[in-house]
Amino acid sequence: MKKWKDPLLLLSGIGISSIGGWIYLIALNLIVLDEWGSPVAVVMLYVLKPVATLFTNGWAGSLIDRVNKRNLMAALDFFRAVLIAMLPFVSAEWWMYAIVLFINMGSAIFYPASMAYITTLIPRGNRQRFNALRGLIGSGAFLIGPGVAGLMFMLGTPTFALYINALALLLSGMITLFLPKLADGGPVHISGINWEMVKADWRVVWGFSKKASYVMVLYVLFTCILVMTAVIDSLEAAFSKEVLQLSNSTYGYLVSIAGGGFVLGSLLNAALSHKLHHMHLMGVGSVVVSLGYIMYAFSYDFMTAAIGFTLLSFALAFATTGFETFYQEHIPVDIMGRVGSLYGLLEGVLVIILTILIGVGAEVVSVRTAVVAGSMVMLGVTLVLGGALRKNSWKKQLNYKSECYNK
């Protein structure tokens, strides 16, 4: 238990922040919808997330790899808490979007920083179990967060829920400060991050990508699968209501079933984490996720859609744990922030472009055709990833990643 004291402390902070994140998401959607009465205004909130990635990820890695990551994570929690607490006092629509954009920018920096810190804090043999437990906490937050938000709406208002989320982030930041201050960076002023430094860091990432090309091919292929899940999910509500003719409450049941599948997968994944290799989790999990989306895309009633949702969410718990462990095991921690940020920038661009394309396809042709096409593209990428993972030499190719970077 002693060696798990700090990881459990970190997991508790992640859990509090995740539950608060769901409360924030639901509360903000309701506030915007009630204030301006436009579904488009709500959609704009989701567009701001990839836009924030475009604004930050080109330079964020240069900051992450040069500062103390524990302090950066705590500062980002405090920064987002203050901004969320400001939202109820904003009356102008565009000012609210500006604040939400800055909140999303903080989140875009937080993820690669936390991945680098976790890699440094958690010993190699415990990383997969930690990632499985983090996935379990995330799935629990998916179920608990909306329920807590609903209870808060009964006791107060969506504005009250925003304050609770701000307090959750403050608590998460304070918990983070109790974690070890690992020797993984030094004090760097934002003014010290200049264009020449950023360009030099891009060259470092490009150099590593060329030397560890096999690692980065697998990284990009799995990232494309994650992109396709986001793209297809953008039509989830329209598909469920217009194609399957589900009511609002039945659609809610469908989402709950997906959450239950993810919880079940996370529980089994945590129990078997010491027996399963992360490369197998990544490969097999991705195939099953794609098959779940195919079943969902061709579904004709609630039952078949529910089976597809359960299958894909169950497998997603395994696939994401495998990918996160792969990321931690095969990318050097001293450039992890730069690699994660720059490739996250690519992910954000793909999400924006493909979401627009699938949206246009749904308007021009049909919603089902667009969802089927997206699912088939995901299956194709998954088969390419599976073929790359079946190479007999993958273990040998992955073993040299540290050596090739140090040369």
- The answer to whether residue 304 scores a pLDDT higher than 60 is yes
Tens of pLDDT, residue by residue over 202-255, are 999 999 999 999 999 999 999 999 999 988 988 887 888 888 988 867 877 787
Q: Is the pLDDT of residue 294 over 60?
A: yes
Tokens of 34: 């009630």
* pLDDT exceeds 60 at position 407: no
Task: Give the up-direction half-sphere exposure of residue 31: CA atoms within 13 A in the CB hemisphere.
Answer: 25
- Determine the pLDDT at residue 4: 74
The whole-number pLDDT of residue 260 equals 84
C-alpha distances in angstroms, 287 versus 94, 132, 270, 380, 388?
Answer: 42, 19, 20, 10, 13
The model's confidence at residue 401, banded by pLDDT at 50, 70 and 90, is very low
The model's confidence at residue 406, banded by pLDDT at 50, 70 and 90, is very low
CA nearest to 188, candidates 55, 65, 58:
65
Which percentage of the chain shows pLDDT scores above 70? Answer: 91
Residue 314: is its pLDDT beyond 90?
A: yes
Mean pLDDT computed over every residue of the chain: 86
Is residue 34 very low, low, confident or very high in pLDDT (cuts 50, 70, 90)? confident
> pLDDT-based confidence at 186, cuts 50/70/90?
low
What pTM value is reported for the model? 0.85
Q: How many CA atoms lie within 13 A of 16 on its CB side?
A: 20
* pLDDT for residue 356 is more than 60: yes
Of 110-114, 169-173, 285-289, 402-406, least confident by mean pLDDT is 402-406
Q: What is the pLDDT of residue 183?
A: 64
Q: Per this entry, what is the length of the chain? A: 407
- pLDDT confidence tier of residue 190, bands split at 50, 70 and 90: low
Share of the chain above pLDDT 90, in %: 47
More confident residue, 249 or 101: 101
Give the range with max mean pLDDT: 92-101, 113-122, 243-252.
113-122
Q: Please identify which residue in the block is written with the tokens 């829920």.
A: 161
d(CA 253, CA 251): 5
Per-residue pLDDT at 392 exceeds 50: no
Opening angle at CA 372, ends 367 and 373, nearest 5: 100
Geometric angle at alpha carbon 223, from 333 and 57, rounded to 5°: 60
Are 293 and 143 a contacting pair, CB within 8 Å? no
pLDDT mean over 249-269: 82
Task: Compute CA distances 96 → 48, 101, 209, whole Å.
Answer: 11, 9, 39
With vertex at residue 38, the alpha carbon angle to CA 37 and CA 42, rounded to the nearest 5 degrees, is 110
Better-scored residue on pLDDT, 24 or 284: 284
Residue 149 has pLDDT above 90, yes or no: no
Confidence category of residue 109, pLDDT binned at 50, 70, 90: very high
